[in-house]
C-alpha cells in the first residue's frame, strides 16, 4: 500500500527509553526521516538515515533501519518531558527536491 | 537552517468566503515550495507543488480551482482557499526543499483554518 504506518500513541516515564516504530512503503526510498512536531511550531527535522545504512546514532537518538522488512525505528534515550510531541517518520521516494510521504505520527507523552 | 514563515497562523472565516495563506522563505530562495494539509491525528498529505514562474502541480484529488496557488516570487507562495466550506477546515503547512546531501525540507509553522 501507499501508507507509511506508525503506532499512534506512546507513553513513557521520564528517564526511560522511547522507541517509536514505522513501516514505510517503498524499498527504493533513498532517505528516511524523523520529524518532531510541537504545538504551534513547524515540523523539525530530528534525524535522517540514508538507505544504505543500518543504524545512525546522534546523541540521544538512535535510528535503526531494516530494509528487508521496510521498518524504521527511532529510539530516544533518557526521555525528557520536553520530548513530548508528535513524531513523524517520512520517506522520500523520488529524486531530490520532491515532497515527502509522511506517517500519521506517534504522539509521545512523557510523564515525570 | 532555513526559516519559513506562514501568515496567518490561525484564521476563522464564514462559509463561502475565500482565505489566502502566505508562505515565505525568509533566508532562502525557493523555486519550489510544497503545500500540505494535515487533519487531526492524520499524516501530512501533499496537496500541491508550487513552482515559481509556472503553474502549480496538484496531487490527485485536489481541486485546483478551489485551492489556488500562486508562486509570486522566489520567497513567497500563496494558497487561496476559494469559497471555503466547513470540510476545508484543516491545518495547512508549507515547506521549502533545500538541496543538500539529504535534501531536507524546512517547514512553516502551519495555518489553522476553521470555516464556520
Q: What is the pLDDT of residues A19-75, one digit of tens each?
A: 999 998 877 778 899 999 987 777 889 999 988 899 999 999 999 999 999 999 999
Dist CA A9 CA A7 (whole Å): 6
3-class secondary structure, A51: coil
Residues on chain A touching B1 (C-beta within 8 angstroms): 45
Please check the confidence at residue A16 and state whether its pLDDT lies above 70.
yes
On whether any CB of chain A is under 8 Å from the CB of B32, the answer is yes
Put simply, the answer to whether B44 touches A88 (Cβ < 8 Å) is: yes
C-alpha cell of residue A40: 504551534
Contacts of A96 in chain B (CB under 8 A): 97, 99, 103
Amino acid at each position: 500500500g501507499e501508507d507509511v504506518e506508525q503506532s499512534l500513541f506512546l507513553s513513557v516515564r521520564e528517564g526511560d527509553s522511547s522507541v517509536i516504530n514505522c513501516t514505510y512503503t517503498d524499498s527504493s526510498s533513498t532517505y528516511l526521516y524523523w520529524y518532531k512536531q510541537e504545538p504551534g511550531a513547524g515540523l523539525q527535522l530530528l534525524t535522517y538515515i540514508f538507505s544504505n545504512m543500518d543504524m545512525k546514532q546522534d546523541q540521544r537518538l538512535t535510528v535503526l533501519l531494516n530494509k528487508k522488512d521496510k521498518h524504521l525505528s527511532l529510539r530516544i534515550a533518557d526521555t525528557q518531558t520536553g520530548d513530548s510531541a508528535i513524531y513523524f517518520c517520512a520517506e522520500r521516494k523520488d529524486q531530490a527536491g520532491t515532497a515527502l510521504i509522511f506517517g500519521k505520527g506517534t504522539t509521545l507523552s512523557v510523564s515525570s | 537552517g532555513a526559516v519559513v514563515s506562514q501568515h496567518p497562523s490561525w484564521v476563522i472565516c464564514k462559509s463561502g468566503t475565500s482565505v489566502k495563506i502566505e508562505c515565505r522563505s525568509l533566508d532562502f530562495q525557493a523555486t519550489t515550495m510544497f503545500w500540505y494539509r494535515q487533519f487531526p491525528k492524520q499524516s501530512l498529505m501533499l496537496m500541491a507543488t508550487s513552482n515559481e514562474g509556472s503553474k502549480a502541480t496538484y496531487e490527485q484529488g485536489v481541486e485546483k480551482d478551489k485551492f489556488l496557488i500562486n508562486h509570486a516570487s522566489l520567497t513567497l507562495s500563496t494558497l487561496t482557499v476559494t469559497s471555503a466550506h466547513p470540510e476545508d477546515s484543516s491545518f495547512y503547512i508549507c515547506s521549502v526543499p533545500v538541496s543538500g546531501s539529504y535534501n531536507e525540507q524546512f517547514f512553516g509553522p502551519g495555518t489553522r483554518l476553521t470555516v464556520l
